[in-house]
Structure 1
């Protein structure tokens, strides 16, 4: 089921399956990738309770093995609509006997979309309902439409002069990396940047990225709360994914113990976690 919220400037549409943002309109311009199975059929999946890939799609907890596919299961589940206002909507996913087969923890995940002027804010809230600590990762995967020639776009990083991007090997994170120099804090997009999959950035100095179209600022992506970041597209596709993360794929030398996973959040019993990112349309 699609739910729309709107104000004077923006209209956002979110699918209750996966609480996935699939449209963001301003003045009839669509800012979200509309999906094309030739390249990638999603729009903005939520990554939870893992980000990226586990070694053999498996983690160990309490000396038992559990299976979790890439990016976890939130994106494939139907969310409840907990609250809806003209300019905001809150989606809720609760743990169940089904989720506990693959992830033996009790939780509530809320995804809150709010429009304020030209800004769409997306907030994740995780509540630990277990009797133990809750280990998880979470992140966004929004794909933004780039309808012009891909090389006519660039990304400006306010506080970075180069990017340190880690390589994946068999979908797992290696210690090998490349340094990508920026010109005046700007990364000019081209498909060759993504020949080895996503750019995986552990520690950016910048907490916002401005997307330029033909040297004109198109929108600003703000992610103050998130320590890790991914940037991704596919050859000849007209989108760019800007992905704020807590965590990333398993490292090659992982123990597979989820409590030891690099980048994992360990949320204490009865505690709550929240993090937000925003899209500000010019």
Structure 2
């Protein structure tokens, strides 16, 4: 099942399974979201919760118990309930259950709110701790943007001049090894060789927006003012690029297994609510 929201400029389609954005089109029928061809990658824009990336051995411990939590968490594989909808907005929700507490022993509600305003789609994450203890979590976005022409015709432009260093993965975990990303005039031309070692993972970044350029013309901008971490990723030879604002990232190779000590983790107190928002601007 899907829900469609629209305004005079854009139409967005969201799948209830995973509350996943599967289409963002202009009124001229130009599509900006990756089609999800499983030959390359069968998703479009999954929501990463309650972890981003991979835990060491896919495990963590809490109160003397061991829990198995797979890569990027379970929200992307759950059916969300549509709890509110208007012509240009939709609110989706999941809550903790007997199944989720087997993987993640905390009581929560996750709401994802999609809102169209002119040439922008905003995506708001609302995490509510319904339990009696503090709750550790990460949350992140994973939108894949379609690049219908030659990959090398595209570039990404950072909002600010900065010296960028990204962390390399080792068995899907964050290693101590880094590489410098060469940036000229705030831009990085896209090339598959950049992603030979998987995603580019930035623990710190000054820029709070990233623009995709096609033949030097800006076509789309992702704004992520609220988010401290960022990933950029594609599959080899795939015609898309993912720009991924995150709160948190994979375990480091030295991680202890205590989720409360995890690098980049968020701690939400009992009965508290966390909000964050990013947006996709069509240029």
TM-score, length-scaled by structure 1? 0.99
Extract unaligned runs of 5+ from structure 2.
none
**Map of 1:39-58 to 2, 5 A cutoff?**
39-58=40-59
Cα distance in 2 between the residues matched to 1:181 and 1:190? 12
Cα distance in 1 between the residues matched to 2:3 and 2:101? 28
Matched-pair contact (CA < 8 Å) for 1:2–1:14 = yes
Cα distance in 1 between the residues matched to 2:272 and 2:257? 25
Displacement of 1:52 after TM fit?
Answer: 0.1
Displacement of 1:163 after TM fit?
Answer: 1.7
Q: Which residue pairs with 1:188 in the alignment? A: 189
Q: Which residue pairs with 1:200 in the alignment? A: 201
Q: Is 2:275 the partner of 1:262?
A: no
Query: How many residues are matched?
Result: 282
String of CA shifts for 1:18-55, please: whole Å, max 9, x gaps: 00000000121000000111110000000000000001
Cα distance in 2 between the residues matched to 1:142 and 1:255? 30
Matched-pair contact (CA < 8 Å) for 1:20–1:43 = yes
Cα distance in 2 between the residues matched to 1:63 and 1:262? 20
String of CA shifts for 1:227-272, please: whole Å, max 9, x gaps: 0000000111000000000000000001010111010000000100
The 3-state SS of whatever aligns with 1:269 is coil
Q: Is 2:108 the partner of 1:82?
A: no
The 3-state SS of whatever aligns with 1:192 is helix
Matched-pair contact (CA < 8 Å) for 1:161–1:183 = no
TM-score, length-scaled by structure 2? 0.99
Q: Is 2:241 the partner of 1:240?
A: yes
RMSD of the alignment, in Å?
Answer: 0.6
Q: Is 2:32 the partner of 1:17?
A: no
Matched-pair contact (CA < 8 Å) for 1:47–1:72 = yes
Q: Which residue pairs with 2:5 in the alignment? A: 5
Displacement of 1:160 after TM fit?
Answer: 3.3
Cα distance in 1 between the residues matched to 2:66 and 2:206? 37
- Give every structure 1 segment of 4 or more consecutive aligned residues whose post-TM-superposition deviation is greater than 4 Å: none
